[in-house]
Amino acid sequence: MSGYATRRVCGDRQTAASKLTNIMNDKLNHPTTGQSDAPAQHPETCQRSPKWAAVVNDTLVLLPKQHVTARLIKQQAGVPADLTLVRDHGSANDVPFEDEAQLDLSDGNVFYTLPRCEVKPANGCVAPPKLAFVVNDQVEQTLNPLQTGRSLRELFGFAPAVRLFRDYESPDDSAIGLDDAVKFPDGPVFYTRRVGVGLTITVNKQTFGETDGVKERMTGREIASLVSPQPDKTEVTRHKGAERIPVALDETVEIKGCEEFSVIRTNVVGGFEPTRVTRELNALRENGGEITFVESPVACAVYHRLPARKGYPHLTETDVLVPIPSAYPGVMLDGAYLPTGSPLLGRVEGSPQGQTIQALGRTWQLVSYHPHNGGGGPAWNINRHGLHTYYTEVLSWIQRARV
């Protein structure tokens, strides 16, 4: 490596990328106890090269191989030739590269560009680089090159039953088990496949299949358990066109596939990461949910046309606005806004607050509704809950409104 790239790293005269590679290789070749003892995958050969990609200025860029020049990365990212490519590390001390520098993407594949006059050489100790894993063309960044099949699924919000494959430049891709070691230098590009088609049903706008417990005959309780940890405290309704048919918890339903149900909790006591938000909202939209993402004045999601319970005298449906915390999903979803003047204010659990916001040309009033903090819902789980599951909480909240 030449030009900008050669730096002093904590007193050692070598490149930041070279030293990090040595550290990672030492860890990968000498695993600690407790790692998976699953059978090793096929050895990598020149006929079975993994696909590679990078992230440049927060944009996914597909690349032909692991070792490329800085110039090629800039060209594929479509950035101006007079900008300098900089590898993004886990600190403010990042590493810039001249155009002809040969880069190993396994040393870090997250970059940004700067005008040459703003480039500052990396000095002193260089932190580990950011690493971008790619699954189904979606990107998640981490500093940890040593994942497992389970942790990688959780990083992207996938269920454990999802079939995960490392993508190679050949038809012979590798299936990744839950306990398999997933090493970043072996390739960062993956894709998923569903475990067969089988029977699927939709519950609260989420799709569930046989690996989730869907079968040819299900009780209302089993259907409720797909979205609620307390199925005995729920009401189940089957959708048949415009008709809504109650399903008793002990009642058995024949499942032929594609049936839709709603599950409402009966014990309501409640008063970012952009790629994750998009993924969760799309999960609802794919099943007919009407949701709008609003970026300002505060980030929020608006669930449209949520139905009140059958025969409710004050309204038949309503929109609900849910604010998205800036540290989401590390900070849980909490609270909900109703349109000002809504007849539900004072009838749903939780007190109307003086706080209002403007969104979608309307004024919304906050209600102190806290499903994941003593409001009847489960404790917030960063790997399980999100905007797609908050739909269930809000739907239950609306349908339990007092007359």
Residue range 270-287, pLDDT digits in tens: 327 777 898 899 999 988
Where does the pLDDT of residue 195 fall: very low under 50, low under 70, confident under 90, or very high at 90 and above? low
Where does the pLDDT of residue 247 fall: very low under 50, low under 70, confident under 90, or very high at 90 and above? very high
Q: Where are the alpha helices (DSSP H) in 182-320?
A: 220-224, 274-285
- pLDDT reported for residue 327: 83
Burial of 118 (0-12, 13-18, 19+ CB in 10 A): exposed
Least confident of 1-10, 53-62, 369-378: 1-10
Where does the pLDDT of residue 45 fall: very low under 50, low under 70, confident under 90, or very high at 90 and above? very low
- pLDDT reported for residue 229: 82
29: pLDDT strictly greater than 60: no
Q: Cα 70–74–76 angle (5° rounding)?
A: 115
Where does the pLDDT of residue 106 fall: very low under 50, low under 70, confident under 90, or very high at 90 and above? very high
| Residue of 241, 264, 134, 140 lying closest to 190 (CA atoms) | 134
347: pLDDT strictly greater than 50: yes
Give the predicted TM-score (pTM) of the model. 0.43
Q: What value does the mean pLDDT of the chain take?
A: 84
DSSP 253-266: EE--S--EEEEEES
DSSP 2-36: -GGG--EETTEES-HHHHHHHHHHHHHHSPPTTS-
Read off the tokens for 179: 């306990």
Where does the pLDDT of residue 27 fall: very low under 50, low under 70, confident under 90, or very high at 90 and above? very low
Q: How far is CA 59 from CA 73, 287, 384, in A?
A: 12, 28, 27
32: pLDDT strictly greater than 60: no
Least confident of 47-51, 105-109, 150-154, 285-289: 47-51
- pLDDT reported for residue 194: 58
Residue 239's DSSP bridge partners are: 244, 260
Query: Under a CB-based contact definition with an 8 Å cutoff, are residues 96 and 84 in contact?
Result: yes
Query: Under a CB-based contact definition with an 8 Å cutoff, are residues 327 and 276 in contact?
Result: no
- pLDDT reported for residue 42: 43
How many Cβ atoms are within 10 Å of 143's Cβ, its own excluded? 12
In the predicted model, what is the mean pLDDT of residues 189-196? 76
- pLDDT reported for residue 99: 94
CA distance 2 to 258: 59
- pLDDT reported for residue 47: 60
In the predicted model, what is the mean pLDDT of residues 236-265? 91
Q: How far is CA 360 from CA 324, 337, 344, 347, 383, in A?
A: 16, 13, 20, 24, 30
Residue range 146-173, pLDDT digits in tens: 999 999 999 998 887 788 899 998 877 8
Query: Under a CB-based contact definition with an 8 Å cutoff, are residues 202 and 212 in contact?
Result: no
Read off the tokens for 282: 């799309």
The interaxial angle of helices 274-285 and 387-399, nearest 10 deg, is 50
| Residue of 75, 116, 89 lying closest to 15 (CA atoms) | 89
Residue 37, helix vs strand vs coil: coil
Report all structural domains of the chain as residue ranges with CATH numbers, in order of start.
3-193 (no CATH), 200-265 (3.10.20), 274-399 (no CATH)
- Host H or E run for residue 70: helix 70-77
Residue range 291-340, pLDDT digits in tens: 999 988 889 999 999 999 999 999 999 999 999 998 888 889 999 999 99
Residue with tokens 């046989």: 210
Residue 138's DSSP bridge partners are: 135
- pLDDT reported for residue 43: 44
Q: How far is CA 270 from CA 23, 166, 331, 370, 390, in A?
A: 50, 43, 18, 5, 13
Residue 252's DSSP bridge partners are: 219
CA distance 394 to 317: 12
Residue with tokens 């993407």: 105
In the predicted model, what is the mean pLDDT of residues 338-360? 95
